[in-house]
Structure 1
């Protein structure tokens, strides 16, 4: 029973982290049809920004609980600034190009941002463990879990609900869905598609940065973390279906539970199992489990 509980909790915690990363990636693709390779850099910027702000804040002798607001602030500021600069400064001039061209462009942005991160923060590791340890630990069936990790589950669930509510229960969300299904018709009907693209890209960038900021207290923040994360995020959105937020949630759960089972039962298969699951899903559903339906021209 302990083993089952450990696998379930570890899998759900890992899935929660994966969903926050993948949600921004799949949202950008669903609206803009851009498979954003630079999303990993947004994650890295959020992690570095969060670790830096937490360090400066706590060095000033301020109350420790304020470090959580530093993490949130780093994600909002970093994601918004970088997202606006990239979308308005470069991507806006590339709209209408082939999807493969956009992948190459965003990959170039990833390489540039990786060097920019090294220029700003250097190559030394950053640590911001205080928010992780401050909440303490909880025992469940004789097993100890960090409350910070449990909090991440609720944060992920909240983000999922907000995205669902925003897309399905608000006027702006319904306009955005119109852009998703047919951007040309939406523009003809008076929807400002360019503005929708900007808002979507910034939201996606903030979600990527938020994932990095939330992860920073539990890891050593060092160069290369963005590249590692983007591969996992791609696996999740491919399994769930490109452009589907619900698919990203299901894909994150599948990957999280599969990885957790491998770690506890056969650790040597940890890296293989993620791509094994992806290959198995694509063998039967090449478009993913919940791919957005697209109109076919006859």
Structure 2
């Protein structure tokens, strides 16, 4: 029973973490039709900025209650800087080019940013585990988890709720949905599509950095950590459907629970299980579970 409960709890925690990271990629693709290969590096930069600021925070003897705002600030700073520099400085220059060209550009960015991380923070691990124990522990039956882990679930719920509210119930959200549906018609109606592209890219970058910032206290922050999340992140958006936020929720839950149960019961099949589920979904529905009908202009 404890094994089953542990698999379920771990699946929820892992799904929440995956959703925070992958939903930013989904938003960017939905608006800009760019499959951002550098998204995992944005996650890594958020983790590095967070662990740096957390180390300074605790070194100053400042109160523990401030660590959550510090991590949110870390994500905002990292995501805003990366989003503006990458979108305005690079991607805007390739607007309208073939999607394969944009894919290669973001892959080149991924390689460049990985080396930039090493130049700034070095190659040694960075650790800031204090937040993991500051808030104590919580029990699920006979299992004990750091209470901090629940923040990731809360953050995922808040992010999903805010995005849904913005897109469905606000005037600005309806404008963004129009840009997603048909940027050319939106442009003809006087909507500044370039500005919305920038807003979407910055938001997606901040979400990736947010995932990294809240993950930083639970792991050793090392070079290459962004590479590790790329496979899982793309599995989520491919299963759910590129550009679909509800699909990202379902994709994160599927990948999270499949991986969790594999780790608990068939650890030798951990990575294979995710690929197997992804292959099965693509064989049945190649566009993903929640992908909408795409219009083709002729």
For residues 190 and 134 of structure 2, the distance between their equivalents in structure 1, rounded to whole angstroms, comes to 50
**Shift in Å, 1:293:** 2.2
C-alpha separation in 2, matches of 1:223 and 1:94:
28
Provide the residue aligned with 2:244 in structure 1.
244
Matches within 5 A, 1:145-294: 145-294=145-294
Give the Cα–Cα distance (whole angstroms) in 1 for the partners of residues 132 and 141 of structure 2.
22
User: Shift in Å at residue 65 of structure 1?
Assistant: 2.0
**Distance of 1:250 and 1:53 partners within structure 2:** 33
1:2 paired with 2:2, answer yes
Structure 2 gaps, min length 5 = none
Kindly state the Cα deviation for residue 57 of structure 1 after the two structures are TM-superposed. 1.2
Residue 116 (structure 2) aligns with? 116
Partners of 2:231 and 2:266 lie apart in 1 by 22
What is the TM-score of this pair, normalised by structure 1? 0.98
> Which deviates more, 284-293 or 62-71?
62-71
State whether structure 2 residue 75 is matched by structure 1 residue 75: yes
Q: Deviations over 1:191-247 (max 9, x none)?
A: 110000000000000000000000000000000001111221111100000001111
CA contact (8 A) 2:240 2:288 kept: yes
Q: Please tell me whether the aligned partners of residues 232 and 255 of structure 2 are also in contact (alpha carbons under 8 angstroms).
A: no
What TM-score comes out, normalization by structure 2 length?
0.98
Would you say the 8 A contact 1:51–1:217 is kept in 2? Answer: yes
Pairwise CA distance, 1:294: 1.3
Q: CA deviation at 1:256?
A: 0.6
Residue-by-residue CA offset, 1:51-70 (whole Å, 9 max, x unaligned) = 00000111111112212221
CA distance in 2: counterparts of 1:155 and 1:204, whole angstroms? 15
- SS at the partner of 2:62? coil
Structure 1 residue runs of 4+, over 3 Å off? none
For structure 1, list consecutive stretches of 5 or more residues without a partner in the other structure.
none
2:131 — aligned with what? 131
Question: What CA distance in whole angstroms lies between the structure 1 residues aligned with 2:285 and 2:135?
Answer: 42
Distance in 2, Cα, partners of 1:272 & 1:46: 28
Confirm or deny: 8 A CA contact 2:14 2:256 kept in the other structure. Answer: yes
